[in-house]
Amino acid sequence: MPERPATPHTGAERYLAIRRPVEVGYWLITYLLSGLGNSVTTWMDVERLGLDYAAWEAASWEGSSAIALLMLVPAMVWFTARWPVHLDNWRRRLPLYALASVVWSVLHVGLMVAIRKLVYAWHGSSYVFGDAFVYEYLKDARTFLGIVVVLHGYRLLVRRLQGEASLLAAPDDDSAPVEPVERPSRFLVR
């Protein structure tokens, strides 16, 4: 008789068993709700101001942004994992993250404009982006920062959930440490 796989017993084990679908679901639901909510409020603004735009245009503006952001999530996950920010390195990482925010914004705007051009062409019209990059960057920089905070915070929670341990820091006073301060690259506790 074949052995049954061990079933997770703790809440942490149960969560870690479904971690990837939860993560993917989080990003899909976040950007679906964002795209829908922003489309509705943009359409309400168009109606309130009496602007001459079709509902599909408002939906394409907000939907294209949400789709572009969703397409960039894997790059953000990779980037923040490759160059994480910690209390001891944030000053060194800040220029890298500032540059990354510009690159990320260029990619977001490029994807967003390409999607809009396709939607407008499908409707027999043409989309012109204009010179609104600074406006878009100001919005994108905040979104970039929000995603960085979410990813780093989530990773911290998962590490704590997995029971990650770390060595104690050197003593605050001037006394010599009781044990060597040299740290291993990884420290795993079972």
**What pLDDT digit, counting tens, does each position of 154-178 carry?**
999 998 888 875 555 555 566 665 5
pLDDT on residue 53: 95
Asked whether the beta carbons of 53 and 120 are under 8 A apart, the reply is: no
Q: What mean pLDDT comes out for the span 74-82? A: 98
Name which of 90-104, 119-133, 166-180 the model is least confident about: 166-180
pLDDT digits (tens, 9 = 90+) for 2-56: 676 666 678 788 898 999 999 999 999 999 999 999 999 999 999 999 999 999 9
Asked whether the beta carbons of 22 and 14 are under 8 A apart, the reply is: no
